[in-house]
């Protein structure tokens, strides 16, 4: 282009542009100059668009006004790479920000390390990441900004509080894990001896709290950890702290151990060889262990666990803990009144090896060893038929209300007998609690907002000395109300999460086959199997039931 001269200074670092309007044939084109700069030795160097535009505009003005003044401008330069370190306020990480050079040089690894030290980055440095970033920069275009975390601190790990380790298993835990016969085979009949501990038997151990581990930030500052705390034993009935070891809880009486919610209880245990007309009904304040059968029309009521190493026929059993029946339970059903002759009522969970014609009510889970049929179940947990780790039992012709999954090998029967499963009651309880909390939260929020406006108004005014005490009392009441509001908000969030979890937890799982006649219900949303399916899962999501094959 006539009248355009591009040159380097003596150090060959800066690019100079000279425009002579007297040699122009037309207005100088900025894009043409840029193309010329992108070729040859000036390619890849830094060009200031502002300086280039200013020079072109000035020269074009001179050209139009016949002014022969020559325009000279420094429009670019050869730039080395720019290095910057970004460290957040907590100093737990350090990022290297590298702007690639415009025809200049990249820093060496040693130079980057030296700059890091000057920026007080001394701990947790990854040399591998720095070298990788420098390698990337060699292939990057001029002026590209690359960023990488090149140092990380180590957050402190606080110590853990002391733990409580039960030294004897609960009866239900023992039943659900049959004893091995050596090798990998498991004998489903060998359920192990039911443990009744003697006096002075160690039942619960307290482990020492850990000290934790200190950490550091990238600047080398030590971050101390908080040591765990000693937790006191929550003393249950029938236990005392050992005289020889303050970290050991021993049984004060002979009985059946029960560990729940970090509390070990030893229930005074009534042991008999069977419950029948000869023994009479059993009503006991403690645990009951029956090494035999419970015959027709007999009753057992206990405040603790009821464990029956035998068969139950048309009997009534009520427990303040778990009910465990190592054989089966069976009863007749009065068709006209729908009354079950065999009833199991537990405050905890229920385990039966196999059941037919049984009514079960419990707050925990219902686990069945082999098969459950023609029964009614109301439970606050899951219903599992088969081994707990691989349920392959049969479940059919039952009426079930559950608050957890229903899982078995086979759901329903070839005959198409109805298996009804209703998840609604537990969900409706959650909805009622949620509505109540939400209404209360709304009222307290409105009141808190009004009170805040009044408190702010009072703070903005000068309060007489005689009213300062009342002002202090008002502030305390307001702070208490705010704390209550925060607590209710946390509870509202917990219930919201519980509602979402409930909907994801309720499901039907058939590990072998799902037959026609199986229905699932959650309020007004129903699902029914109209044909036979192989291994499958029925789950609830987005207000609908969904069927999925298990592959």
pLDDT-derived band at 174, boundaries 50, 70, 90: confident
Separation CA 341–CA 388 (nearest Å): 28
pLDDT-derived band at 337, boundaries 50, 70, 90: low
Interhelix angle 468-505/424-459, rounded to 10 degrees, is 160
Q: Are 353 and 368 in contact (CB under 8 A)?
A: yes
Which residues lie across from 287 on neighbouring strands?
269
Query: Positive or negative, the Cα torsion across 271, 276, 280, 285?
Result: positive
pLDDT at 385: 96
**pTM of the predicted protein model:** 0.70
68 to each of 22, 41, 389, how far by Cα in Å?
5, 29, 94
* Half-sphere exposure for 111 (CA within 13 Å, toward CB): 11
Which residues lie across from 285 on neighbouring strands?
none
User: What average pLDDT does the segment 441-445 reach?
Assistant: 93
Separation CA 23–CA 30 (nearest Å): 16
| Polymer length of the chain | 551
The 10s digit of each residue's pLDDT in 2-36 is 888 888 888 888 888 898 888 888 888 888 888 88
pLDDT at residue 412 is higher than 90 = yes
Separation CA 215–CA 221 (nearest Å): 8
pLDDT-derived band at 85, boundaries 50, 70, 90: very high
User: What average pLDDT does the segment 460-471 reach?
Assistant: 83
Mean pLDDT of the chain: 90
DSSP designation for 184: T
For the chain, report the end-to-end CA distance as a whole number of angstroms. Answer: 73
Separation CA 347–CA 351 (nearest Å): 13
User: What average pLDDT does the segment 464-471 reach?
Assistant: 84
Q: What's the order of all strands across the beta sheet hosting 46-47?
A: 4-8, 14-19, 71-77, 46-47
pLDDT at residue 193 is higher than 70 = no
Quickly count: other Cβ atoms within 10 Å of residue 53's Cβ. 13
Strands 287-290, 282-284: pairing is unpaired
Separation CA 321–CA 363 (nearest Å): 10
* Half-sphere exposure for 258 (CA within 13 Å, toward CB): 25
Q: Are 205 and 248 in contact (CB under 8 A)?
A: yes
Backbone angles phi, psi at 208, to 5 degrees: -70, 145
């Amino acid at each position: 282009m006539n009248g355009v001269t591009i040159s380097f200074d003596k150090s060959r670092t800066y690019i100079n542009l000279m425009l002579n309007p007297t040699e122009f044939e037309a207005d100088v084109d900025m894009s043409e100059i840029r193309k010329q700069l992108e070729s040859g030795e000036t390619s890849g160097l830094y060009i200031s668009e502002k300086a280039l535009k200013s020079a072109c505009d000035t020269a074009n003005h001179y050209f139009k006004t016949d002014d022969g003044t020559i325009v000279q401008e420094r429009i670019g330069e050869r730039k080395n790479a720019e290095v910057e370190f970004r460290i957040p306020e907590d100093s737990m990480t350090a990022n290297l920000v590298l702007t690639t050079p415009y025809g200049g040089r990249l820093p060496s690894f040693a130079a980057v390390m030296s700059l890091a030290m000057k920026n007080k980055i001394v701990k947790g440095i990854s040399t591998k990441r720095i070298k990788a970033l420098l390698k990337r920069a060699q292939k990057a275009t001029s002026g590209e900004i690359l960023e990488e975390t090149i140092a990380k601190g180590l957050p402190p790990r606080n110590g853990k509080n002391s733990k409580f380790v039960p030294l004897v298993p609960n009866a239900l835990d023992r039943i659900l894990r049959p004893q091995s016969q050596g090798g990998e085979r498991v004998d489903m009949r060998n359920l192990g001896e039911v443990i009744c501990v003697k006096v002075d038997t160690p039942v619960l151990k307290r482990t020492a709290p850990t000290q934790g581990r200190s950490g550091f930030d990238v600047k080398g500052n030590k971050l101390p950890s908080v040591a765990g705390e000693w937790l006191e034993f929550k003393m249950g009935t029938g236990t005392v702290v050992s005289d020889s070891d303050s970290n050991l809880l021993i049984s004060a009486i002979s009985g059946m151990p029960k560990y729940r919610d970090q509390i070990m209880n030893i229930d005074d245990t009534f042991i008999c060889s069977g419950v029948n007309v000869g023994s009479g009904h059993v009503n006991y304040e403690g645990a009951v262990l029956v090494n035999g059968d419970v015959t027709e029309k007999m009753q057992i009521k206990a405040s603790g666990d009821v464990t029956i190493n035998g068969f139950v026929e048309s009997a009534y059993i009520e427990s303040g803990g778990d009910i465990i029946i190592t054989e089966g339970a069976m009863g007749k059903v009065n068709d006209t009144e729908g009354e079950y002759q065999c009833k199991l009522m537990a405050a905890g969970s229920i385990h039966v090896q196999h059941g037919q014609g049984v009514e079960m009510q419990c707050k925990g889970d219902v686990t069945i060893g082999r098969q459950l049929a023609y029964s009614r179940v109301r439970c606050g947990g899951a219903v599992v038929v088969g081994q707990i780790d691989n349920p392959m039992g049969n479940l059919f012709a039952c009426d079930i209300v559950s608050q957890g999954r229903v899982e078995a090998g086979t759901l329903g029967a070839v005959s198409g007998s109805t298996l009804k499963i209703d998840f609604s009651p537990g969900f409706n309880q959650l909805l009622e609690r949620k509505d109540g909390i939400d209404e209360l939260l709304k009222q307290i929020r409105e009141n808190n907002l009004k009170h805040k406006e009044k408190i702010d108004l009072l703070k903005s005014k000068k309060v007489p000395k005689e009213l300062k005490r009342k002002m202090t009392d008002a502030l305390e009441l307001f702070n208490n109300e705010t704390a209550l509001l925060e607590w209710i908000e946390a509870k509202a969030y917990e219930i919201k999460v519980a509602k979402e979890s409930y909907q994801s937890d309720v499901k039907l799982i058939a590990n072998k086959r799902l037959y026609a006649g199986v229905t699932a219900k959650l309020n007004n949303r129903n699902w029914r199997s109209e044909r036979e399916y192989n291994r499958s899962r029925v789950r609830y999501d987005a207000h609908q039931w969904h069927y999925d094959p298990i592959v």
